[in-house]
Amino acid sequence: MSGPLEGVRILDFSRFIAGPYCGALLGDLGADVIRIEKVAGGEDRYITPVSEDGIGASYLQMNRNKKSITLNPRKERGKEIVRKLLRTADVVLVNMPPDALVELGLDYKTLRETKPDIILTSTTAFGEGGPYGNRVGFDGIAQVMSGAAYLAGSPGRPQRCVAPYVDFGTAMASTIGTLVAIMEHRRSGKGQEVGCDLLGTALNVFNMQLIEQAITGVGRVATENRSPTTAPTDIFRCTDGWIMIQVAGQPLWRRWIEMVGATEWLTDERFKDDLSRGENGEVVSARMAAWCAERTVSEALTACEEARIPCGPVYSPQQTLDDPHVRERNYFRPVTYPGVDKPVPIADTPFRLSGSDVRIRCRAPLLGEHTDEILNELGYTGPEIAELRELRVV
């Protein structure tokens, strides 16, 4: 069974997460993805090292299903190689500020001079235009500027989320945009530019809270792990660990009341609806905390599951890897990589298609692993490739 994007070639100039993960997902769908990297290696190769030569965990996840060519696009002969590659490509992925794209000749206008029907998927920190258009930024910057970090943690101490949800959300949004552009190209033969930015993703994710502020002017502050609009929604300590409970809506509230034996609260005006319960969240959490303090994690989870209350254990990373459901569902694919002494658990494609081949097909590439192969395909001979290496073009 072939992947639905078989025959689509993607040139990936992007780095870190938002751009490369888009390329990884398109590779999962069967596209031929070529990572174009600095001759000395991209700076994103070595973050959170796990191998003998320092290759990072993020690189291994973001760059599965790709080939690697080293190339200096600033040199004239490097630009020539880019143009030749471009003529074979359907999509170009970039994540640089607009002025940097122009400098490297990777802006949409310049790319179209070589390939009029090219699709350019561009990811930036703040989008094109506006006062911040040429600023650089990462996931955490978008988190704090969206208001999310202000309402996390405790009052007076903003807290970013360690999971880079803005990067991954942007990657998934740009994947959707790229797929739509490919569909349109197949219909009309025309390319287009797909634009996504980190701040835009963060604002989408946090939009509910921003709507509330704009309409009501409520001026919320951080409530640690509690929800300001429902309760009990919090993390609670048991005798041997922690669990998370989330209750929203009257049916769940009634079941929770029965579970903890707080039936007197059914007629208490402080807890008449979700918003009221959220406003009195400290009181509700204290009741739940006392209930959990008398039980093990297993006992608390069993009782919650019997009452059909959404719950889950607070895991360490190792406990997540060891969880029997995680193992049985095969959320991770073990992938071998040179210099790593055990299989790398790469999170599998986050969606399933019953009639298409969607999967991790191969490990992330070694630096320049496919340079000769790709240059040969473009018509370069062995001596020419050797000369390009000597000149540090590749």
Domains of the chain, with CATH numbers?
9-205+330-391 (3.40.50.10540), 233-316 (3.30.1540.10)
Distance CA 260, CA 303 (A): 10
| Cα of 235 vs its chain's centroid, Å | 24
- In the block, which residue shows the tokens 């835009």? 200
End-to-end CA distance of the chain: 35
CB atoms within 10 A of CB 157: 10
Distance CA 171, CA 61 (A): 13
pLDDT tens over the chain, length 394 residues: 679 999 999 999 999 999 999 999 999 999 999 999 999 999 999 999 999 889 999 999 999 999 999 999 999 999 999 999 999 999 999 999 888 899 999 999 999 999 999 999 999 999 989 999 989 999 999 999 999 999 998 999 999 999 999 999 999 999 999 999 999 999 999 999 999 999 999 999 999 999 999 999 999 999 999 999 999 999 999 999 999 999 999 999 999 999 999 999 999 999 999 999 999 999 999 999 999 999 999 999 999 999 999 999 999 999 999 999 999 999 999 999 999 999 999 999 999 999 999 999 999 999 999 999 999 999 999 999 999 999 999 9
138 phi and psi, to 5 degrees? -120, 180
Task: State the pairing for strand pair 9-12/332-335.
Answer: unpaired
User: What pairs with residue 124 in β-bridges?
Assistant: 197
Distance CA 71, CA 371 (A): 9
Residue 100 amino acid letter: A
Q: What is the DSSP letter of 264?
A: G
Q: Residue 175 has which token pair?
A: 């994947």
